[in-house]
Amino acid sequence: MKILIALTAMFFAFNSFSKMITKEVRYKMGDTYYKSQLVFSDKVPTNAPLVLMVPNWRGMTEGSLTKAKKVAANKYIVMLADVYGENVRPKNNDEAKVAATKMRSDVPLLRKATNKAIDILKEEGKKLKANQENIAAIGFCFGGGAVLESARSGKNLKAVVSFHGNLNTPDPKDAKNIKASVLVLNGAIDPAVPKEQIADFEKEMNEAKVDWQFVNFSGAVHSFTNPEANRKGRSEYHPVAAKRSFIMMNNFFDEVFN
């Protein structure tokens, strides 16, 4: 918790000359209501890119909102996406595991919920005069897998970034639908992403001729961008890998968004 407080303090000190605006966005898909959070700076330029952010398995937490603000800075309009539904707010890891497992076991629903959030982000972006062509989706852990599935569904995205996310998918042939450039940021010793999964992902991307990059961070395991992760050797914050990963994401966006 102390690390999270320090990270938050440094972030707001860095952005002391701008005000971060947060707007709750409620919408419906089928019979389920969702409640996402739109985040942007009052200094964000006209024609700014749009970035959907799917959080880790804990969903819509204060920590995820803080991370969304860090991603937005003064450059992007970010929507922290609720893909569970507004009545599902895990209070601990056990509840998060149940919620995430349910979604991962129904990939069509996961894709649909993620893609719906992208459509809502575009609608909100129009009101802010954002660039409707420069759209990215990023995700962390469970969210990393979610945005990769959105790309595999053929969603019209410029860029997709997965931070320590799962790489496996029910049908690797769906990669032929990917329109986005893909950046995967992975912990080199992450026990949740075995070498076999990485090899299968590389084969999947190559066979589909996707524009993709894969980066392994030495010494990093799962959840390396999460200041609250403290399960040694399994799910653990790695400040160096975290810092480098966000720099790589921004450089990637600069290239793809031109």
Bigger pLDDT: 75 or 2? 75
pTM of the model: 0.92
Please give the pLDDT value at position 18: 84
Cα-Cα-Cα-Cα torsion 97, 98, 104, 105, nearest 10 degrees, comes to 140
- φ/ψ of 138, rounded to 5, equals -125, 155
- φ/ψ of 9, rounded to 5, equals -60, -45
- φ/ψ of 82, rounded to 5, equals -90, 110
Please give the pLDDT value at position 69: 97
Q: Which tens digits make up the pLDDT trace of 108-121?
A: 999 999 999 999 99
Percent of residues, the chain, with pLDDT higher than 90 = 93
160 forms beta bridges with: 137, 182
Expressed as residue numbers, the domain containing 210 is 2-257
Q: Which tens digits make up the pLDDT trace of 178-212?
A: 999 999 999 999 999 999 999 999 999 999 999 99
Q: In 135-174, which positions are buried (b, 16+ CB within 10 angstroms) versus exposed (e)?
A: bbbbbbbbbbbbbbbbbbbebebbbbbbbbbbbebeebeb
| Six token digits for residue 189 | 């010793």
E strands present in 65-151: 77-80, 135-140
| Six token digits for residue 133 | 């062509």
Q: 208-213: long-range contacts (C-beta < 8 A, 24 or more apart)? A: 208/173, 208/175, 208/176, 208/178, 210/175, 210/178, 210/182, 211/181, 211/182, 212/181, 212/182, 212/183, 212/184, 213/182, 213/183, 213/184, 213/252
At residue 168 the predicted structure's pLDDT band, cuts being 50, 70 and 90, is: very high
Please give the pLDDT value at position 56: 98
Whole-number mean pLDDT of the chain? Answer: 94
Whether the CB-CB separation of 78 and 97 falls below 8 Å is answered with no
Q: Which tens digits make up the pLDDT trace of 146-162?
A: 999 999 999 999 999 99
The type of residue at 196 is E
The count of C-alpha atoms lying within 13 angstroms of the C-alpha of 253, restricted to the half-sphere facing its C-beta, is: 23
Domains in the chain: how many in total? 1
We report the CATH number of the domain holding residue 19 as: 3.40.50.1820
Please give the pLDDT value at position 16: 53
Please give the pLDDT value at position 12: 45
Q: What is the Cα–Cα distance from 145 to 106, expressed in whole angstroms?
A: 13
Percent of residues, the chain, with pLDDT higher than 70 = 94
Neighbour tally for 28: CB within 10 Å: 11
pLDDT beyond 80 at 57: yes
